[in-house]
Chain A
């Protein structure tokens, strides 16, 4: 069965520090992979997506993610975090009929 695991429930970083959020997936075929961000009281916003090709994908707000098939991972990175990046981040894998299966999320706190 398709599933997504985000091992870190909470992460706290200092403003200006680098960030890496982990995501592992289980899927039988070549996956479509996504990262969404959810600010308090808001819906989910698509940060970036991977369908095929270059395994390093760039997204909005300075985020990038790398697909590693051998590790079944799609980790999200940002070289320098801003206070406005504090939010909850969800990794998702695309299933049949355009379905998305989400992980439980990682809540990011940013210290000044």
Chain B
């Protein structure tokens, strides 16, 4: 079974530029998550989708971050414009939608973003 795929793996941009990350979850996983992991910290949830609907985006900085999951499968996270403090690893995860299994999240390798 293929895991969660993410691209690119690394990205370096200047502040005020825009950037987009892509995630393809495990087949059959209805729930998709985007996390931000700043160096030295644990992952922090940015946004959670169930199918193509948003379940939780309370910690997403909506003035500069956006995310979509149009067909309920893969997803894109965008930052525009980027700030220095956005330098982090962006992790995508997926899980089944129901019951206890819904808490078992499977993570992709992440995208390491450096904003200069």
> Which residues does A use to contact B, with CB under 8 Å?
4, 32, 34, 36, 41-46, 49, 51, 90, 92, 94, 97-100, 102-105
Closest A residue by C-beta to B10: A41
Residues of the B chain whose Cβ atoms lie less than 8 Å from the Cβ of A32: 100, 103
Q: How far is B48's CA from A20's CA once the two chains are assembled, in angstroms?
A: 32
Interface contact A99-B100, CB-CB below 8 Å = no
Interface contact A99-B56, CB-CB below 8 Å = yes
Q: How far is B100's CA from A49's CA once the two chains are assembled, in angstroms?
A: 10
B69: min CB distance to chain A, Å:
15
Interface contact B95-A44, CB-CB below 8 Å = no
Chain B interfacial residues counted at CB < 8 A? 25
Interface contact A44-B103, CB-CB below 8 Å = no
Closest 9 CB pairs of A and B: A102-B42, A43-B107, A98-B102, A94-B103, A44-B107, A43-B109, A51-B100, A104-B42, A32-B103
A45: min CB distance to chain B, Å:
7
Interface contact A100-B41, CB-CB below 8 Å = no
Kindly supply a per-residue 1/0 record for chain B positions 64-108, scoring 1 wherever the CB is within 8 Å of any chain A CB and 0 otherwise.
Answer: 000000000000000000000000000101010100101111111
Residues of the A chain whose Cβ atoms lie less than 8 Å from the Cβ of B106: 46
Interface contact B91-A43, CB-CB below 8 Å = yes
Interface contact A46-B104, CB-CB below 8 Å = yes
Interface contact A100-B109, CB-CB below 8 Å = no
A27: min CB distance to chain B, Å:
13
A88: min CB distance to chain B, Å:
9
Q: How far is B55's CA from A4's CA once the two chains are assembled, in angstroms?
A: 22
Question: What are 30 inter-chain pairs, A to B, with CB distance below 8 A?
Answer: A32-B100, A32-B103, A34-B104, A41-B109, A43-B93, A43-B107, A44-B91, A44-B93, A44-B107, A45-B107, A46-B105, A49-B103, A49-B104, A51-B103, A90-B42, A90-B43, A92-B42, A94-B103, A97-B55, A98-B31, A98-B48, A98-B97, A98-B102, A99-B48, A99-B56, A100-B43, A100-B45, A103-B42, A104-B41, A105-B41
